[in-house]
Amino acid sequence: MSSLLPPSAPPPVLAGARVLEYALVDEAVTFTGRLHLYSGNERIGRVPCLAICREFDDGQYLLVHCGEDWEALGVEAWNGPFAQVPGSVDEVKLRAESYYAGLSSKWVKLEVSPEDARAYQEAQEREFICSFCGRGPDELPSVFRGGDATICGDCVRELYRMLDEPDDAPSLQ
C-alpha cells in the first residue's frame, strides 16, 4: 500500500488515527508562534509536516505535528474542558492556518480507505507484539526489535532474573 503513495506522503495511520490530509510546511509558510503545544516540558514550535487525522473509534479530529519522517512530535486533540472540538477537516485547517500562515494551499488528501488504514494499523501493531509473552504495544512501555523477534522490557528483566539464578534452575524454555 505505501509503495503507491508519493515519497513525501505520511503513512495511512499516525498517532493511532487515520490520516485524511497532510501538508508539508515549506519556506513559503510562516510559523506564527500562536501554537502552544507541548510534548513533556518542551514546547513544540515549527514542524516540517502536519497531518489531519480522524480517530477510528470516536471520530474525533486530530492535528498531528510531525518531523520530516512523519514521526509524531505532538498531537492536538482539543479535549480540554473548555476546548471547542472541530467538527470537520475544514475547521482543523482553519486552526492550522492560524499557526502556519500560508498553509491553506498546501493540504493534500491521502486517498486511503478506512478499511485499508485499519489493516495498516493492525499490521503495525503485530510487529510490536512481544514474541515471548504475546503482549501488544498498548500493554508495554518498551519493546526491542531484532531480526524476526520482538521482546518487551518485562521479558528482558525476567531473562536476567533467570540468568542470575543458580545453575540448577529450570531451563529458559
Summarised one tens digit per residue, pLDDT across range 14-27 is 998 999 999 999 99
Considering the domain architecture, whether residues 110 and 142 belong to the same structural domain is answered as: no
Q: How many domains does the chain have?
A: 2
Considering the domain architecture, whether residues 35 and 112 belong to the same structural domain is answered as: yes
Considering the domain architecture, whether residues 70 and 117 belong to the same structural domain is answered as: yes
Tell me what the mean pLDDT of segment 99-126 comes to: 91
Considering the domain architecture, whether residues 10 and 32 belong to the same structural domain is answered as: yes
- Confidence at residue 137, expressed as pLDDT on a 0 to 100 scale: 66
166 vs 93, higher pLDDT: 93
Evaluate whether residue 171 is within a structural domain: no
Give the structural domain span for 133. 128-164
Q: Round to whole Å and give the CA distance between 163 and 2.
A: 42
Q: Is the pLDDT of residue 167 over 70?
A: no
- Average pLDDT over the chain reads 86
Considering the domain architecture, whether residues 111 and 73 belong to the same structural domain is answered as: yes
Read off the pLDDT of residues 46-64 as tens digits, 9 standing for 90 and up.
999 999 999 998 889 999 9
Considering the domain architecture, whether residues 28 and 113 belong to the same structural domain is answered as: yes
Considering the domain architecture, whether residues 139 and 83 belong to the same structural domain is answered as: no
